[in-house]
A and B are shown apart, each in its own frame.
Chain A
């Protein structure tokens, strides 16, 4: 297989070149709002204050015979420094040079061991300093610089071994590190830097296999498989991570495999010979990894990789650890940085970059310079949203209290038309079973409570209130209302759940509003092939949603506003090419004409953070802060909102990108509407990170994907049964 397919323009950069604003006439001049109180905002971006102003030259590099290993490719090319010069950036496939080579096509000969490899450098194109491709090379260069600064690459990011934090009590190590990206924004090119932590466990897959083993005294293959499959392991000898896809119980480290040279060798001998590692248990099974899972490679078969459990360290937190408050408390203390600490860390990082001699030399070759302070601009705090309290939920406290008296049995209680299950433990299979039964076979909204949560008399009141609240919204009762300021509009939230562990079908949750007050929602879901992000069954969902709206209101909505979550990097183009047209054509078939439609892409996983200065200290911006300058894009109609407030740590803003808008929202209009929708989530009496329909869709997709794996019964669709 050629490398070319694998290493195209990175996913992030694919989205950069999508220009959606050109079609949005009404925001041609400005995507900036004016309402609200102006506040000075800082962000974790450092402006690029100097960069190459001249044209650079891109060359394609080919190897004869073909070489797969990126390091070898680099090594072979770098044997010709006299030709290409000190100043170059190589991405494994193509080369960026600040000058033109003498010949259009240069053929060179490199040595790899005793082999001789022909390296062809062929001119590809001239790059303007502003081109996205050029930025991609700067990112590669910066990664090289992080490496020079002695940071260690684990997965995609770079970490500092010298500042490793060890949690001896929990057998955990945390390496602090950085996520960086250089991208172009409205007014400048910036380096976005954020602190990141890598969690490593001092536990091997073998420990885990044996652990479960001794619990039940017999090999329970099912349990081990459940715990191990899907987890990411880290092999100490080659610094790589693998995903465990299966456990092969038939084979042992004494099994053989074929080396690249063709000879057969046992795993034991191989690790001894290659890495000086001794495998002690010769009867352990082997782990199977099918390699990286990429959408484009779904059909191409590749040789699975076999791993010896003893040599595989486990990564990430287990569910057990997550439940252990001591682990979580200790981790939070070190990884949840408040704005002040985060700024301090990032400033320190920038200082190290600025002072590092070799790093600076490399940057100077390209005339790249970064500002040493956080980028700052002004944001606005939107007006507080008025919440209209509805009639209180039927009071269930007393009933719940009575329940607690007899809670030592895990029987189901029938409460008028609802099911309340008090579970003796929070075992997932039990929960899954109950939910599956009550969502598919016997559709009744149900509530599960772990018995232990009702144990403590001092918190019983709060918990009972919360449970009552949750039960109430599952039954469709409105808890409060928010005025959206938009008449006759239907709101839709879409999110996806991918079951990466079992590679089952992906589930898209589709939640639409039913009434004007946005107190009732209609929930549907679509199953699609694994890894597929785009919703294909949109048409049916949309038609059903419109039908129900019509039934309730006796007319069709005049405008439709879609909040689309769960869009991965690099999928923006596909969204515009397939999903939006599909929505439009479905609407057309119902209305017989174009109807006003707005589609907003919602992104929660971003590295941009915002800080506001209060009393001389950097703090999280107040809820309702909107940012639509500085780190927004020229080619998009986008903005950030900080809608939620966090107790500790730094708040993560949500990014909104309006990709289609025939409602013609003004920036103030869409920002305000979005913020209001963040108040409409009934499971929490506060403001959430995303508009409520998005979060409902997320909850639905999650419950279906995690627990019931089937389409819930249609009779539940008009209830928020999945909260």
Chain B
């Protein structure tokens, strides 16, 4: 969306950042997300949505919104990066995630951006003309009023280190030095009851420490009545008598499969249960064979070796719990693992907490694999022992 002059191509930066500065900015936001675990994150001026693509991998994020004035380009080619892929279906997230992209401006109000935990404006404000810049704090801090705002902008103190003395980008309306940015930011923070701290990415070379980071960043946190809990879990839309206001245009939505959706929980649970049961069966058959070959072994050893197997990481407490539970058994050609035992395995326990839920879900997903009393999962003792029609 920005057309460069020919001359900018030839220009060579003496200072090069590794990883590139834009990536460092994104990693900075990722670190913030890792640290504060926000649920709802919006990126104003999201460009080609690279940051959103990175943030979708964070398990804590449940709502991801991107806003930009120009959206067509993104949608043509990049929308599949934001949509759930086959992998997201096979290994669903723990928590729901929805992604919405809006065509809109950071200086216009839209009630759908109310109640966010984190709003980022990466290299955005320097593209605003003075009129829009004046509106910006009222919209973002006054109206959206998220728990936290991260604003990054070029630091002009750093520019003398670059060969050319112009702005870094021809669309920049201004480039602030550290003092200017901090002055503006502190005023905004004060006005809207936020705290602000300053940092940045792209450290200056050792001989020019005074110029500060190449990109300066302000982290704004909303002041709270109780200190420490800065995240407001404000229900969307219903906020402080704000009227619904939809000025943004929805251009893309995606909703990710997650274990919060019963369909996927069922799917993953049945898979994990069957995998577990098959692994236990293998161990069981192996022990049977050992017994036949008359190797002397105490009952306790057998119990223990029935539980443990490579690839299954259990704490001693978990082993003890499983050992206490009803043992797997076989009747005829069938092999049974009691649900009370299965619930002790962490991969199953992670999905459902109690036996009765486990029973209900399995009865729905794999009814033919439950015994009549619905107390055990059953499979064939020898999986290769079935009639064959072909030779």
Contacts and interface: CB of A to CB of B under 8 A. Distances in A.
Interface residues of A, number: 68
A280 interface: yes
B286 A214 contact: yes
Contacts of A452: 388, 391
Interface of B: 1-6, 8-9, 18-23, 30, 48, 50, 54, 57-59, 72-73, 76-78, 80-81, 83-91, 266-268, 270-271, 274-275, 278-279, 282-283, 286, 309-311, 313, 365-366, 368-369, 383-384, 386-391
Contacts of A168: 266-267, 270-271, 274, 365-366
Interface in A109-144: 109, 111, 113-116, 118
20 contacts: A74-B76, A78-B73, A109-B6, A113-B23, A114-B22, A116-B8, A159-B86, A168-B266, A169-B366, A169-B369, A173-B267, A202-B271, A210-B309, A239-B86, A275-B57, A281-B311, A320-B383, A323-B384, A325-B386, A325-B387
Given A75-B73, A234-B86, A116 B9 contact: yes
Among B22, B309, B311, max chain A CB count under 10 A is at: B311
A187 to B, nearest CB: 35
B89 A78 contact: no
B310 A276 contact: no
A166 B9 CA distance: 53
Interface string A93-104: 000000000000
A213 B283 CA distance: 10
Contacts of B76: 74, 78
A410 interface: no
A173 B89 contact: yes
Among A113, A168, A235, A274, max chain B CB count under 10 A is at: A168
A280 B313 contact: yes
B282 A215 contact: yes
Nearest to A313: B90
A271 B384 CA distance: 37
A625 B249 CA distance: 56
Nearest to A83: B3
Contacts of B86: 152, 154, 159, 161, 175, 198, 200, 234, 236, 239
Interface in A316-358: 320, 323-326
Given A175-B86, A215-B286, A323-B388, A261 B311 contact: no
A616 interface: no
Nearest to B388: A452
Interface of A: 71, 74-75, 78-79, 81, 109, 111, 113-116, 118, 147, 150, 152-154, 159, 161, 164, 166, 168-169, 171, 173, 175, 198, 200, 202-203, 206-207, 209-211, 213-215, 217, 234-239, 261-263, 273-277, 280-281, 313, 320, 323-326, 449-450, 452-453, 456, 463
Closest 8 CB pairs of A and B: A236-B87, A453-B391, A210-B311, A276-B57, A239-B85, A168-B270, A202-B271, A109-B4
Contacts of A166: 267
Nearest to A276: B57
Given A202-B90, A449-B391, A74 B365 contact: no
Contacts of B268: 202
Contacts of A449: 391
Contact of B87 (A75, A164, A234): A234
A169 B21 contact: no
A74 B87 contact: no
B18 A114 contact: no
B251 to A, nearest CB: 11
Contacts of B54: 274
Contacts of A113: 20, 22-23, 50
